Structure formats: structure tokens, C-alpha cells
Chain A
Amino acid sequence: MTPRSTMKERASAALRDEFLRRAVKTTTDKLFLGRRLAQQSYEDWERLRDRGRAIRAHVIDNLDFYLGRLTDRVRANGGQVHLCREAADVVRVVTEIAARRGARSVIKSKSMVSEEVRLNRALEEIGVRAVETDLGEYIVQLAGEMPSHIIGPAIHKNRQQIAELFSREAGRPVAPDTESLAAFARRRLREEFLRADIGITGCNFAVAETGSVCLFTNEGNGRMVTSLPPVHIAVMGMERIVPTLEDLEVMMHLLPRSGTGQKLTSYVTIVSGPRREGESDGPEEFHLVIVDNGRSRLLRDPRFREALYCIRCGACLNVCPVYRQIGGHAYGWVYPGPIGAVITPLLQDDLDRWGDLPFASTLCAACSEACPVKIPLHDLLVRHRARYVAAGKAGMAERAAFRAFRRVFGAAKKYKVAVGAAEKLLRLWVRDGHMAPRVPGLKGWTDSRDFPALARRRFRDLWPELEKESPGQKGGKAHG
């Protein structure tokens, strides 16, 4: 997968990987059904969604205020706050802490933002080993890949492939059964937990009122990473705030039910600063790294601002017919699926390289329907397409085609003449009521599907006869 490949090329490559497609479909099916059951088990899911959306909208509309409040509370709790505009700023802040502490080993629990800024690579460059401790992230790290799903980073891998990765790491064969694999990871990661100088986590939500960082995990690794090493660094996207603990409760219902179909994740960890006097555990230092990295571009643009409401549950991926065929890597960066196609072009601010992502959608709106905070993702995808076209990025042939569309469909008279002429011309390719494959411009369709011939008489040509029929007349000449 070359970095300069197009979405279409990456999608085609993914389609040829039968294993990947099976694995992605099995897992997304499971998550999809789980979500449905979990939502049905909540008394009033729709109203919960509305409430979640209202909370997110309120925070995004008043983000400056809540960032200020969060910063004040974290500092009052004895933590340090670092505001980072660019990816490079995050890297600088974290590597400086690592250098000051003389750190050699870092353990991490899941953080998509750290993938955005490629933090692991930056740490390795200064000689610090970073080890992922979320099982899925650990597998992806050993494979040298990116996560392919927001909440299931390694859903594209099977047990056999994982056993091969673990065996290479262990220097001895690890059996490909779940128990052996989990036992190896547990033993291996335990050593890392005990040795680490710094723990780095993501942040599902930061609570402004209390200056807390909240993590939803299922493996307990989040708790280890935040309590064992002497330093805890939490990296968060700047929009990831809820005002109060009460609001957090709404998210505690929404996120797991939408993501994994759980009523609650196995662990919910709320960290409010470093160890205080008289406390027996917790880190000596707590750092909150608040990351912009392109988010203010979304905040500034009313067309796309709603994308910041996202709580990163991954529900839109699981229902997306495109994602379900090609998996996450085809989207080319950190965030896949519908939400990835919406935020990547803006976070990366590069239309030439990422502007084709929003076109990889059928606009079926399954994403908008699944979104727990009701982001109208399909509308945002269309707005992206309009932005791309307005920037003059559409191909020449397509531009010409839609200029013609405007002329032909812009007046019934022209339409009648043009469609009539097209029908006569296309008769050359008609076989048995359908177009022969390889009609110019239709290859993408006819490679896998038949395309119907245009009708010899259009509805508008049949209308004068049809108009004269008496109501209830059975059958009639007007039928084609």
C-alpha cells in the first residue's frame, strides 16, 4: 500500500483479500447484532441519543470555555496541561517528558490520537521502547500495521496469523488457540507493565467539572497503565470533553452499547490527577496533552462541525456496506469508515491526497442511522463532495458529463430530444433487452452487472394514451 495510492486502488486491493473480507464481515456482523440487542435493552434509546447529541453539541459550541475549565481543574488537581496545535507539538511534549525522566520504556493503552501523530515511531527514534497493551493494538503493533477499526484494531487478523506474530516475538511456537495466545500476551505484557517508566493512554472523555480523564476498557490494561508507572500522560483530542460526571453517565450508556454491544465496558477508569499525599498508589506526575491537529478546521466550518460530536464508537463502520467489503486499511489513514471519510480530508487538510475518501460511499445513510449522537454523516459526505467539486478537483470527463446533464435535464424539450437520440444510438449495443458489456463509460457497472436498454418509448410518450384511459380499465395499450 503506497502512501500515494488512491482510495479506489486501495479498495480494489482489499477486495482481492478474501480472508480480510471474511474476517471483517464476521466481526462487523457480530458488533452490529450486539449493538441492536444492547439498544433494545435500553428503555428509551432514542431519547438517550438526543441527550447525548445535545451534550456534545453544547460542548462543541462552547469548546473554548470547557477547555479553559478543564485546564484549570487538571492544574488544581496537581496535573500539568499541554495544549498542542500540531502533531509535531505532541511529539515534542512527550519526548521531552521522556528525556527528562530518562525513560527507556513506555507502555500504552489504546489511543487513536497517538496514531494520528505517530507517537510510537517518534519515541523509538529517541531510543524509547513503546509497547501497546491493548491486545488488539499489541497485535497490530507486532505486525507493523495501523488499526483497521476504531474499537477493534486487529479485526482483520485471524488466530493463525496472530499465533505467527506471537511465535516470532516469543522465539518459540505459540499455539493458535485463544487460551495460549491470551496467556502469552498476558505474561509478556505483565513484564512490560512492571518495567515501564511512563504510561501513555488515550482519553474517551475528559470531565471538565472535575478535571478527570475517563477510559473505557475491557482488558484492565488501562488501569495498569495509569497506576503502575511513575508518570501518566493522557493524550486527548481537544473536542473530547463532557461538562459533568452526570453527562459522562450518558456517554457510559451510549458508547459501549453502540461500539461493542456491551451495556458497560468491563472497566471504567476515571483518573483525576497524580497521586496525592496519603495515597498509596498512582503516578507521581500526570500530564494531559490536548491535541488540535486540524480539529479547529472542523470547528470553524459550520458544514462539518458536527463531525466533532463523534464519540469514536465505531458503529458507523459496522453498518457501512463499503467498510464491510474492504475493511479499514483501504481508507489509508487512522480513521476508517464513514467518520474517517468525513474527518480525514479536514484533519489532514489535503484535498489532493484525501479528497477521494468521501466518494467511497453509497450514501445509504446507515451510518447516520447508527450514530449514537446523530451526526448526519451521509450529509457531511455529500458536503465534502461539493467542496471537492467546487475546488475544481473533479476530473474533466465528469465535469463535462454534469455540464451536459445540466443542459439536457434543464429543459424538457432538450431532454426529450437528447434521450431519444441516445436511445437510438445505444440500440447498437442492445442484446436481449440489455446493454452489451463494454458500453463506453459504463465499464464499472457492466463488469459485474447487466444494464437495461433504454425504453423505445418513454413514459412521457405513453402519457397521451394513458391519460385517456378510464379509471379501473384493465390493462391497456399504454403498457410499453
Chain B
Amino acid sequence: MTSTYPAPFILSNIYDKIKSTLQREEWEAARGTAVLRVSLFVTCLVDACFPEVGVSAVRLLRRLGVEVDFPPEQTCCGQPAFNAGFHREAGAVAQVWLESFADSDYIVTPSGSCAGMIRHGYGELWAGTSPVGSLAKELSEKTYELSQFLVEILGVRDLGARFPAKAVYHPSCHATRLLGIGDAPLILLRRVRGLELVDLPFAEECCGFGGTFSVKFGEVSGAIATDKARNVMGTGADVLVGTDMGCLMNIGGRLRRLGSPIRVLHLAQLLEEGLA
């Protein structure tokens, strides 16, 4: 039976490598003639609660020679309503998102979850055949989570940052599972001078946030967050770093309630602080 299987794994890995090299070459060719233009989708959570994360993201991108704009009509990708089952409401808000970014070359966001909503959730919301659906599909293919954009599109590995601390990285579920950013954040973190990166036990287990779940099933959500916070504390790290403020707000909120002094930072903040 084995003989009927298609080509073994190794070939598909090589294929992926070729693909990402081609993408990078395409960009490098483009860079020769023009500056790369990125529209920042800051996300509603960062806009309203953690604006410093957006500031760091913009500064990082600019340092790398990228031109950044901020489409002023943006609000939210619609995910809160989508995940809660309110798809009409989600669709109305998501439509505003589409209009805001309709002219963008690249859309970069400091959230794997919101990027995941656009890349994955919009396909659930609209079939690709309608005019809205095809616009959504077109824009979703240009949408990247920040670290994913840095590694996959800009081909950056080492930003030259220095950040002397012991840190743990929490891989957010939507960034890794829905969006598939893989090791992009770790690729960047491993090259930060002075940063000791320690393993987080059960790293891939959810932090328990889950949008409205965190309030509807507050007790269960809190219990999951407790496990995550204890795992983080058990590593003896000074810093918790991640790609999504939703998860970090949840874990951080539990850490703070438990009296832990661990600093909670978005990847963009850590990298930018390390460059300053």
C-alpha cells in the first residue's frame, strides 16, 4: 500500500522552501525599484487598550525601510461578533474593514488572531464567489501577522536588538493553528542579544481567553488561565512575550492577580525596546 502514496514528506518541504524563496525574491526585486508600502491594521484591542504596541510595530517596520500608513476608517475585523455567532453583525463590521484596506499593498497587524480572522474567518463569512467574497479573498492574501511579515516577506532574521532578560514565549493558538506563522516569532527572538529564551511547559495549550468565552464561562476560562500562569511562573522568567494582546491580557491579568512581577510584552515591544 505504501507504494501508492504520493511523494514523501521531504519533497514537500523543499517545495515550501522554494516557494518562500520565490516570494522573497519577488519582494527583493520590488525593493530595488520601489519602497514596500504597508498598511497597519492596529486592531481594536491595541487601539483602545495597548496603543504602545502599535507604536512599536510602526517603528520596527520603518527601521526596516518599509513605508507605513494607517487607514483611518479601520475599526475591528469583526471577530468578537463572528466567534459569538452574530454573523450579520460581524459581516457589517468586516465590510468596513474591507473598505478601509481595499487599496493596500500589504496589510500587517500585531495580532495573529485578527490576521487569522481575515485569512480564515472571512472565508467562512462569505463564499468566494460574491463580490464581497472575492475582495475578502484578495485582501486576506495580503494580510500578515507582524512577525510573519518580518520573517516571510522581509526575510529578516536578526534585527540587531539587545534585551538582557530571561523570557518565555507563548505561541498563540490562532497565530499558529489558523494562520500558521510557525516559528517566525522564535526566529526573531532567538537572535536577540542577551535574551535567554526558556521553554514554556505545555506552551501550545490555549491560555483560556477565547473572546466572549472568557466572560460566559469565566470560571473555566480562569482555571485554564491559572494553569498557563503557573506554567509561566514555574520557568522563573522575567518576561512573557507573545504575538497577541488578547492572550497576553488574559495571562497577564491572571499573573497580576497572583502577584507575579513578570513583565508581559508584545513581541513588537520587546524588539523595539531592544533596539532603542
Binding site for B on A (CB under 8 A): 8, 11-12, 15, 43-44, 46-47, 51, 246, 249, 319, 321-322, 324-326, 359-366, 368-369, 379, 382-390, 394, 398, 402-403, 405-406, 408-412, 415, 419, 423, 434, 441-445, 447-455, 457-463, 466-467, 469, 471-476, 478-480
Contact = CB atoms under 8 A, between A and B. Distances in A.
Contacts, number: 232
Given A11-B219, A366-B173, A411-B96, A480 B52 contact: yes
Contacts of B121: 382
Contacts of B253: 445, 449-452
9 contacts: A321-B205, A368-B177, A382-B124, A405-B80, A448-B257, A450-B253, A455-B51, A458-B47, A480-B52
A361 B89 CA distance: 21
A472 B256 contact: no
B107 interface: no
A402 B214 contact: no
B93 A459 contact: no
A459 B220 contact: no
B177 A369 contact: yes
A8 B216 contact: yes
- Please list the 8 inter-chain residue pairs (A to B) with the smallest Cβ-Cβ separation, ordered nearest first: A444-B218, A385-B85, A362-B210, A448-B222, A449-B253, A364-B206, A444-B215, A364-B173
Contact of A454 (B49, B54, B212): B49
A300 B238 CA distance: 53
B38 interface: no
Given A444-B216, A452-B249, A410 B208 contact: no
A324 B82 CA distance: 25
A8 B86 CA distance: 20
Contacts of B137: none
B84 A402 contact: yes
B174 interface: yes
A46 B9 CA distance: 9
Interface stretch (B21-29, B67-75, B151-159, B183-191): B67-75
Given A411-B96, A478-B55, A360 B63 contact: no
Interface residues of B, number: 79
A361 B213 contact: yes
Contacts of A44: 5, 8-9
Contact of A463 (B8, B70, B84, B177): B70
Interface in B52-97: 52, 54-55, 58-59, 62-63, 65, 70, 72-76, 78, 80-89, 92-93, 96
A475 B177 contact: no
Given A459-B51, A460-B47, 5 more contacts: A44-B5, A411-B75, A419-B48, A443-B215, A471-B62
Contact of B206 (A362, A386, A394): A362
A419 B124 CA distance: 28
B52 to A, nearest CB: 5
B271 to A, nearest CB: 13
Contacts of A47: 5-6, 9
Nearest to A475: B276
A455 B50 contact: yes
Contacts of B52: 479-480
B195 interface: no
Contacts of B231: none
A51 B1 CA distance: 12
Nearest to A387: B85
A127 B182 CA distance: 59
B223 A445 contact: no
